Amino acid sequence: MLIDLTPEQEEIVATIRKFVDTEIVPVASDLDHADEYPHAIVEQMKELGLFGATIPTEYGGIGVDYLTYAMIVEELARGWMSIPGLINSHLIMAYIVKTFGTDDQKKKWLPAFASGEKRGGLALSEADAGSDVQAIRTTARREGDVYLINGSKMWITNARYGNTFALMAKTDVDADPRHRGMSMFIIEKGHPGFRVSRDIKKLGYRGLKTCELVFEDFEVPAENLVGGKEGAGFRYVMDALETGRINVAARGLGVARASFEHAISYAQHRKTFGVPIAQHQLIQEKLADMATKLEAARLLTYSAAKAKDQGQRVDLEAGMAKLFATELAMEASTEAMRIHGAYGYTEEFPIERYFRDSPLLLIGEGTNEIQKIVIARQLLKRYPA
């Protein structure tokens, strides 16, 4: 790699790689096909401190930088793309509290997030509001010391087994522009008016339950309003989603890498016409293209992570990394299936799982079509006529 790693970074990545190879890879396909939540893996992730990966050490986290975090996510996704989904929206929630929360909110929530005692994610999307965040309809009306939440959220990661979420709701339905009426709350399960209505069956991204949440006069203490002020939620979440896009880019990188590694290994063992298929020119072209794009995706992802570490706004960098790496995941899994032939289409090899998981990455944390709009807008700002 062109990026020099510290001994600490090398040790962390080596530890995660061993964890993936010994604890995730052997069970990933069985859990995926059964759509079974990985309870045992979650407990091991708690012990490794992964739920506090980017949470500062003063709050009980391990406080890694975003470059290290990207490499951790890449390794986890190489084993099973669903696994880094356990920490993605969870750490987005933690980022919101860490960056915008009051001192009391940081002291209350961050240690519990870091240990995994309180874990969950981001309750943002709705049935009619995905990429268009300002179209949300969930409302929060203040009554004394509480807010009453009414509405629903769709496609919520960790919803079934998580217990704490960062919820976006409208505190001013008449605000113009709309984003000025949106506020962020930390909410917990176990209280009347908050229910998980159903699990959503998916093509891939299995094991990790994705659900619909419904709120009916759900009471949230006013002290759970992030930052203690209304109307700032949209700004909070737009900033936090940069970290989510670095995660999704790293997941695309991990899936693409796994696809490539299986493909190049298989191509050297599978023989046709008396020689390994790796000796055939068309297969060599596929491998060359995959490897070249994989290196480009890695550099884009790591570059975005390093820019985030330097405190920069990384809409452009994270958008480019997410766009390129996730498109590569789809392409590489498809090419790996072609190289494996009929075997790639069976459940005997993990290729079909990579192929099913890849489309989620094209959609998650803002569709790739939205990423192109974000990229173009930032380019126009940087290169004014």
Catalytic residue among 75, 230, 242, 365: 365
For residues 357 and 186, give the distance between their C-alpha atoms in angstroms, rounded to a whole number.
29
If we measure between CA atoms, which residue out of 83, 92, 86 comes closest to residue 54? 92
- Determine whether 365 is an active site residue: yes
Number of residues written out for the chain: 385
Read off φ and ψ for residue 372, nearest 5 degrees: -65, -35
194-199 and 210-221 as β-strands: parallel, antiparallel, unpaired? antiparallel
If we measure between CA atoms, which residue out of 376, 362, 363, 375 comes closest to residue 125? 363
Tokens 């704490």 belong to residue: 164
Question: In this structure, are residues 333 and 351 in contact, taking their beta carbons and an 8 Å threshold?
Answer: yes
Tokens 């893996």 belong to residue: 41
Q: Is residue 177 reached through a cis peptide bond, with omega within 30 degrees of 0 on the bond before it?
A: yes
Q: How does DSSP classify residue 351?
A: H
Concatenated DSSP letters for 10-58?
A: HHHHHHHHHHIIIIIHHHHHHHHHHT---HHHHHHHHHHTGGGTTS-GG
* Buried/exposed 62-100: b ≥16 CB within 10 Å, e otherwise: bbbebbbbbbbbbbbbbbbbbbbbbbbbbbbbbbbbbeb
Helices (H), 212-350: 233-269, 281-309, 315-340
For the chain, count helices (H), then strands (E): 11, 9
- Residues acting as catalytic residues: 365
